[in-house]
Amino acid sequence: MTDKPLPQQPVGDDKKAKPIWLFVTIVLVILLAVKFVLDYNEKKELQEYYQTELTEAQEKLAEIDAELQQKIREIDSLGGDIEELLAVQQQLTEERDQLQRTRKANRQLIARLKRKTEGYEELLKAKDKEIEELKKVNQALLSENTDLKEKTNELNRSLTELNEDKKELQQKVELAARLKAENIRVMAVTKSGKEKSGVLKSRQLVKLKVTFNIAKNEVAPLETKEILIRVIDENGQVIFDVSRGSGSFILNGKETFYTAAQDVLFDNSGQQLTFEYEKGSRFDPGQYKVEVYTDSYLMGEAAFIVK
């Protein structure tokens, strides 16, 4: 018997397949390179925007500092009290020095600088009114006589009372402008996504969900607010995890931890906020408390029980 020759595989098909795979590989590499460049450019543009905002904030603080020095000289020459302004100037100098050491800007820093700048501008406006009052007093003193001395003393007393009333009014306005959290609800979110309220069961509590409304406030300015919540166990310990969005803030002059945070534009509509926090482990049974903060003051609180 003669051996039959083995069938040979067509050479043409193999040659056609190689260019196709090479083309696909090149396309994939190009797409990955394009995505990398786009992501890099987006991050670069965002950082450039923050740096531009930071530079503008530094320039604005420099302008405020120059105006503040001018007002200190003017009030001092008119015989007014400059202790408050000297303290503000020291604080402003420290903030400017800190900004010069800041290498990278971020959204939180820019928002904080905006609030600070607005506060300084309001202070300067208030000092303009005080300067006008002092000028009136000094003008009266230049042309005083025996009868005018009595009127001047009365005017000085009125000015003192006006300053005291102004401080008292400012304190009342600041208190009235504080935001409040209403209708605070604490719920457990199960693995299936169902929400349970009332006494929460530890085995069902995959996520902790907190909802509340920001009460309407006609005095409060319409602006962006950073809202923080603190979940505190019965031992007074704050539940936090930096990897899950927790952090720290200054409360009563001390650094303290918060559980979660979000930036919200307060629009005086009674808007509702929702926080969801996944602890990563079971909540121990016990009584807990949720506190809501903004600008380092308490907006509201509520308690809940885990069994």
Domain co-membership, 119 together with 204 = no
Report, in angstroms and rounded to the nearest whole number, the Rg of the chain calculated over CA atoms. 32
Count Cα atoms within 13 angstroms, Cβ side, for 184.
17
DSSP 147-170: HHHHHHHHHHHHHHHHHHHHHHHH
What per-residue confidence (pLDDT) applies to 25? 77
Least confident of 36-45, 136-145, 285-294: 36-45
Domain co-membership, 193 together with 85 = no
**How distant is the alpha carbon of residue 212 from its chain centre?**
19
Element (H, E) at 211: strand 207-214
**How distant is the alpha carbon of residue 280 from its chain centre?**
26
Would you say residue 9 has pLDDT above 60?
A: no
Asked whether residue 232 is domain-assigned, the answer is yes
What per-residue confidence (pLDDT) applies to 50? 65
Domain boundary among 143, 160, 190: 143
Domain co-membership, 202 together with 278 = yes
Asked whether residue 138 is domain-assigned, the answer is yes
Tokens describing residue 182 = 């209403």
Measured between alpha carbons, how far is residue 38 from residues 42, 45, 48, 166 in Å?
Answer: 6, 10, 15, 54
Count Cα atoms within 13 angstroms, Cβ side, for 163.
13
What digits encode the pLDDT tens for the residues 209-267?
Answer: 999 999 999 989 999 999 999 999 999 999 999 999 999 999 999 999 999 999 999 99
Query: DSSP 3-state helix, strand, coil percentages of the chain (rounded to 5)?
Result: 50, 25, 25
Domain co-membership, 61 together with 137 = yes
What per-residue confidence (pLDDT) applies to 39? 47
Domain co-membership, 133 together with 185 = no
What per-residue confidence (pLDDT) applies to 112? 76
Asked whether residue 176 is domain-assigned, the answer is no
Domain co-membership, 134 together with 206 = no
No. of helices (H) and no. of strands (E), the chain? 4, 10
Domain boundary among 143, 169, 197: 143
Alpha carbon distance 108, 296 (integer Å): 15
Q: Which residue has the higher pLDDT, 167 or 287?
A: 287
Domain co-membership, 59 together with 117 = yes
What per-residue confidence (pLDDT) applies to 43? 56
Domain co-membership, 128 together with 193 = no
Banded model confidence at residue 13, pLDDT cuts 50, 70, 90: low
Least confident of 47-51, 58-62, 273-277, 298-302: 47-51
Using a 10 angstrom Cβ sphere, with 0-12 exposed, 13-18 middle and 19 or more buried, the burial of residue 260 is buried
Domain boundary among 95, 120, 143: 143
**How distant is the alpha carbon of residue 49 from its chain centre?**
18
Pairing assessment for the beta strands 297-306 and 286-294 based on DSSP bridges: antiparallel
Domain co-membership, 97 together with 195 = no
Domain co-membership, 204 together with 273 = yes
Asked whether residue 3 is domain-assigned, the answer is no
Asked whether residue 148 is domain-assigned, the answer is no
Alpha carbon distance 273, 263 (integer Å): 10
Domain co-membership, 186 together with 269 = yes
What digits encode the pLDDT tens for the residues 99-158?
Answer: 766 666 666 777 777 777 777 777 778 778 878 887 887 777 666 666 666 676 777 777
Who's near 160: CB < 8 A, 6+ residues apart? none
Whole-number percent of the chain with pLDDT over 90? 38
Q: Which residue has the higher pLDDT, 117 or 205?
A: 205
Residue type, 230: R
Number of structural domains (the chain) is 2
Asked whether residue 248 is domain-assigned, the answer is yes
Domain co-membership, 206 together with 290 = yes
DSSP state at residue 8:
P
Indicate which CATH number applies to the domain containing 193.
Answer: 2.60.40.10
What per-residue confidence (pLDDT) applies to 128? 80
Sign of CA dihedral 116, 120, 121, 123: positive
Instruction: Residue 133: give the domain boundaries.
Output: 48-143
Asked whether residue 24 is domain-assigned, the answer is no
Asked whether residue 7 is domain-assigned, the answer is no
